[in-house]
Structure 1
Amino acid sequence: KYLSSQLERSIGYKVVLGIDEASIVHVLNGVVEQHPNVSFGSYPFVSHPEFQTVLTLEGNLIDDKPNMSPPLPTRNSTVFQRSAILSSKEQRDRYVQLALEDLIHRLPDGSILRVDNDDLTPFT
């Protein structure tokens, strides 16, 4: 396979919430801890008329293995050792789907307004 196909972006999701970010910090911390192979983002919208928080989920390219060598420090980027394990797109997608299911299960009833596939469009 070509390197570019191996580095294909994983599936991502935006979870749009009708509740304040501060009220779900404990939920987010728990989900992040349980799913180290997923990158999470949390974006509060204080004055938005329809929603208050948008959460994002996307699979990490590098597996977060406890026995993995730490990244090499550089000035403007991170360089991983050759021993770093690259996840396949299918595996990263599965990690994201499991994290999404866990997040949805843990969030308060009625707090989710919608779940979107993250196609890099702005929050609307």
Structure 2
Amino acid sequence: MSTHAELTRRCFEAYEKKDRSLIEPILAEDFTFSSPLDDAINRESYFERCWPNSEHVGTFEFEKLIEDGDDVVAIYLATSKDGAQFRNTEVFTFRGEQLVHVQVYFGSDTKESASQED
């Protein structure tokens, strides 16, 4: 049996490896995803709208990964393939070993990434 933190790490690993087969078994059939751009979209819409972003992802570095009951809070620094960086916070909600909801809070580009745009 995997911990919720381990399952959360596997979701991010799927993006790093561009391997959808790593994340598919974790997402419940009734999975929903919310962000400032998405309002509780379903599993199918998540794969249509969000999964293509894996092509731009380089790495994720966890700054905090906090497991609290059925929830995991992940605060991370993401680095894209082109070197741009940003921080986000995500809350993963599980039912057993199935991920039922992700709520994303967008951060901002890091100071270093913003200065690269000048």
Task: Work out whether the TM-score is over 0.5.
Answer: no
Normalising by structure 1, we get a TM-score of 0.25
Normalising by structure 2, we get a TM-score of 0.26
Greater relative contact order structure (CA < 8 Å, 6+ sep): 1
